[in-house]
Amino acid sequence: MSTSTLSLLDALESEAIHIIREVAAELERPVLLFSGGKDSMLMLHLAVKAFAPAPVPFPLLHVDTGHNFPEVLAFRDRTVDRLRLRLEVAKVQDYIDDGRLRERADGTRNPLQTRPLLDAIEAGKFDAVFGGGRRDEEKARAKERIFSLRDEFGQWDPRNQRPELWNLYNGRHRPGEHVRVFPLSNWTELDVWRYIARERIDLPSLYYTHEREVFDRDGMLLALGPHAQPRTAAERASVRAEKVRYRTVGDMSCTGAVRSIALTVDDVLAEVAATRITERGATRADDRMSEAAMEDRKKEGYF
């Protein structure tokens, strides 16, 4: 018996559980990045399964940009309470309020997350940080290891990555350094949705089709709200109600919605299978900044 007898989802689940257990066994203070979005919900679900019937032996961390969808934050808190976990929240707003960070001209706060994240890692003395990143999301992520070393400034050096062999992961590091760990590295968007359907994982409602006030910006549909207001006459003229859902959930100011009729997880599955545009390409303004936008942010310490 071998890989061939395990279905795709069972093989991916087994690999992720092995990775999560390895971190808990070999590193002192792991933490799991948790936003309430689908990838972090999936990662948390796998962590719960990895240690059952015992509780998850590490806390959660969320870097809140202050521009998150309120229903996602409410979902995040309900989930943490239900599983009786400990959640730390690092707030970008606190940094802006006391002048440690300045608002960007374009209003996007995604790149501002790096500093609060690194401060939270240092303050919590975390030496392993689980992230929900997948290699199919983006070109720079496609090159990243499952255990990815960060130096004492939180930086990723793509030219100097450790080779990763068999299923032997190496989380050793010098004091001040830490590892980012990506248990979902080998999952695709389709695998994520198939698994969410199979395991009946609860998600924030905005992953499913609902009606919302939106407007057009740079070919994306942004939700009208306190953090995204039309700036030009053309943007103002485009405001209307649409039936939409979200493929990724990030900042309201830079995450686009997609027109959809998918009301259930099975509808979403059919839609994802038929799509011709990648998840991030469809919905994330921050990745459109340049050909190497993600690589540059990762080098600075972004997840």
Segment 276 to 295, residues that bind other proteins, using CB under 8 A: 276-278, 281-282, 291-292, 295
Q: Minimum CB separation from other proteins for residue 269, in Å? A: 8
DSSP 225: B
φ, ψ at 234 (rounded to 5°): -65, -40
Of 53, 49, 57, 54, nearest to 26 by C-alpha is: 57
Q: Are 66 and 93 contacting, i.e. CB atoms less than 8 angstroms apart?
A: yes
- Identify residues 55-114 at the interface with other proteins (CB under 8 A): 55
Q: Minimum CB separation from other proteins for residue 253, in Å? A: 21
161 binds other proteins (CB under 8 A): yes
Q: Write the binding mask 195 to 224 for other proteins: x where contact by CB under 8 A, - elsewhere.
A: ---x--------------------------
5 binds other proteins (CB under 8 A): yes
DSSP 150: E
83 half-sphere exposure, CB direction, 13 A CA radius = 25
Q: Are 121 and 178 contacting, i.e. CB atoms less than 8 angstroms apart?
A: yes
159 binds other proteins (CB under 8 A): yes
- Identify residues 34-53 at the interface with other proteins (CB under 8 A): 48-53
Q: Are 37 and 136 contacting, i.e. CB atoms less than 8 angstroms apart?
A: no
Q: Minimum CB separation from other proteins for residue 139, in Å? A: 3
264 binds other proteins (CB under 8 A): no
- Identify residues 11-30 at the interface with other proteins (CB under 8 A): 11-15, 17-18, 21-22, 24-26
| Three-state DSSP state, 226 | coil
